[in-house]
Structure 1
Amino acid sequence: MNQNISFKDYAFVAVQVLLFIAYFLPLRISDIQLPEWLCYSGLVLLGFSILFGAIALLQLNTKLSPFPSPVASGKLITNGAFRISRHPIYTALIFSGFGYAIYGSSLYRISVTLSLLILFYYKSVYEEKLLSRRFPEYQDYKKRTRRFI
């Protein structure tokens, strides 16, 4: 997988792992009351997010890496889930986080998911600089496809 991994790559992944751990801690900031229909819509959002993420994972196949630096043998994928979002796995994780947080009426999990959104934004900015250097056609792809949904 010859991948040039920098300190910045490790830092992004470390913060991401810490936020994932924080998400699943059984903590509550305060109770929020959401209508039942909204709670169940969180499950629908979670389901669609898992499906969307699974499609992106299947497309990446063996080229999957937690690091923002492109895999040496990787190719630019612009179809399937990548036609909808330049970062479909980040998108799926963000929407899954929001979906489950809404289902559980958890202000704490919504806060952690907002932190993940901020992290994924900066991680994707860094990743896109690297992708632009590696793939000249990335700039055209960037113009026609959103970062997240």
Structure 2
Amino acid sequence: MKLENNDFIFVLVQFVLFFVYVIDVKIVSIGWLPFINRIGLFTFVLGVLIVLVALLQLNKNLSPFPTPKLNSKLVKTGLYKFIRHPLYAGILYVVFGYGLYIGSIFKLIVATTIYILFYFKTKYEEEKLLEFFDEYKAYKVATGRFFPKKILINCFKNILV
């Protein structure tokens, strides 16, 4: 498919946010309880692993742009069996995890902004994927955007019951 202006805008904003995230701004830093640092470190490491696995599983289908590449295949195995966008999910784990680990309110704010960007970027990407792959509609229903759907459903069932 042909790349559109939105593809370039999403990627540009994404890279600007990544750049802003790595800037060392110490506006407000919080001294968390030690277990929050450990949760942040665990989340960060988990995110790195998810990113690496997702990159390997995407292989030739990898593109920074939301519009699918011309000869791409819909990946529905591995992490993609449970999550539609594990690469974005892994990046979110990394940025939130690191922000928690170092206690940086600034990084957590930027991470939240990255989450909002990824939400809209995936929404746009999924419109393109629905046009490109006939089986995407069923795949979308069966899987979660950033988290496995079954885990989320079970969590909310336990909370509500």
Q: Which runs of 4+ in 1 moved over 2 A?
A: none
The within-5 A match list for 1:62-77 is 62-77=60-75
Residue 32 (structure 1) aligns with: 30
CA offset at residue 135 of structure 1?
0.6
Residue 46 (structure 1) aligns with: 44
CA offset at residue 31 of structure 1?
2.1
> Which one-letter code corresponds to 2:4 in the other structure?
S
CA offset at residue 99 of structure 1?
0.5
Could you tell me which runs of 5 or more consecutive residues in structure 2 were left unpaired when the two chains were aligned.
148-161
Could you tell me which runs of 5 or more consecutive residues in structure 1 were left unpaired when the two chains were aligned.
none
TM-score (norm 1): 0.95
TM-score (norm 2): 0.88
Aligned Cα root-mean-square deviation (Å): 0.9
Count of residues in correspondence between the two structures: 147
Over the matched positions of the two proteins, sequence identity in percent amounts to 37
> Which one-letter code corresponds to 1:139 in the other structure?
K
**What's the CA shift string for 1:12-55, capped at 9, x where partnerless?**
00000000000000102312121112102211111111111111
Residue 97 (structure 1) aligns with: 95
Structure 1 CA distance for aligned equivalents of residues 105 and 43 of structure 2: 17
Structure 1 CA distance for aligned equivalents of residues 46 and 4 of structure 2: 33
**Which structure ranks higher in relative contact order (CA pairs < 8 Å, sequence separation ≥ 6)?**
1
